[in-house]
Amino acid sequence: MASATPPNLLVSFLPWISLDDEICLGKVTLWPFRSASKDKIREPAVQEHLEKYFECYVDHQGRPVRKITICSYGDVDFRALPKAELQDLRHVVDALLFISVIPEATLAVSENNPYNAPPSAENFELVHLEFLPGKELLTVVVGNCQHMGYTTDMISFQKPWAASEGKVQPSDFWAKAFHHLFDASILETDRGLIFRSLEWFRLAHFNSDDISPLSKVLMMATAFEVLLAVPPDINQKKRWIAEELERWIETSKFIRGTRTDNKGKTFLASKLGWWAWDFYELRNAIVHGDQIQPRQLEYRVPGLDWLTHLMVADLVFGECIARKLFRLGCFEKGQSFRALSPGHPEEAFIRFFRPLFGDFFEALSWMSSQECTNSIPSGMNKQP
Number of neighbouring beta carbons within 10 Å of residue 78: 23
Would the pLDDT of 336 be above 80? no
What pLDDT does residue 11 have? 93
| Residue 352 confidence class, pLDDT cut points 50, 70, 90 | low
Q: Which helix (H) or strand (E) holds 258?
A: strand 256-260
| Residue 122 confidence class, pLDDT cut points 50, 70, 90 | very high
| Residue 200 confidence class, pLDDT cut points 50, 70, 90 | very high
Question: Residue 369: CB partners within 8 Å, gap ≥ 6?
Answer: 253
Rounded mean pLDDT, 152-158: 89
Nearest to 248 by CA among 171, 163, 317, 329: 317
The rounded percent of the chain whose pLDDT value lies above 90 is 51
What pLDDT does residue 340 have? 54
Rounded (10°) CA dihedral 90, 94, 95, 99: 150
| Residue 143 confidence class, pLDDT cut points 50, 70, 90 | confident
Per-residue pLDDT tens over the stretch 359-373: 788 889 898 755 444
- Between CA 41 and CA 75 the distance in angstroms is 10
Q: Which helix (H) or strand (E) holds 199?
A: helix 188-203
What pLDDT does residue 197 have? 98
DSSP 263: T
| Residue 4 confidence class, pLDDT cut points 50, 70, 90 | low
Per-residue pLDDT tens over the stretch 85-101: 999 999 999 999 999 99
Contact by Cβ (8 Å): 150, 143: no
| Residue 194 confidence class, pLDDT cut points 50, 70, 90 | very high
Would the pLDDT of 251 be above 80? no
Contact by Cβ (8 Å): 355, 349: no
The alpha carbon dihedral of 15, 20, 23, 28 has a sign of positive
What pLDDT does residue 379 have? 37
Amino acid type, 9: L
Render 142-158 in DSSP notation, one character per residue: ETTEEEEEE-TTT--EE
Per-residue pLDDT tens over the stretch 272-328: 999 999 999 999 999 999 999 999 999 989 889 999 999 999 999 999 998 899 888
What pLDDT does residue 140 have? 79
Contact by Cβ (8 Å): 58, 64: yes
Would the pLDDT of 333 be above 60? no
What is the crossing angle of helices 83-110 and 188-203, to 10°?
60
Rounded mean pLDDT, 171-190: 90
161 Cα distance to chain centroid: 20
What pLDDT does residue 372 have? 42
Would the pLDDT of 151 be above 50? yes
DSSP 123: G
Would the pLDDT of 54 be above 90? yes
The rounded percent of the chain whose pLDDT value lies above 70 is 86
Rounded mean pLDDT, 23-27: 93
What pLDDT does residue 378 have? 35
* Secondary-structure breakdown of the chain: helix, strand, coil percentages, each rounded to the nearest 5: 45, 15, 40
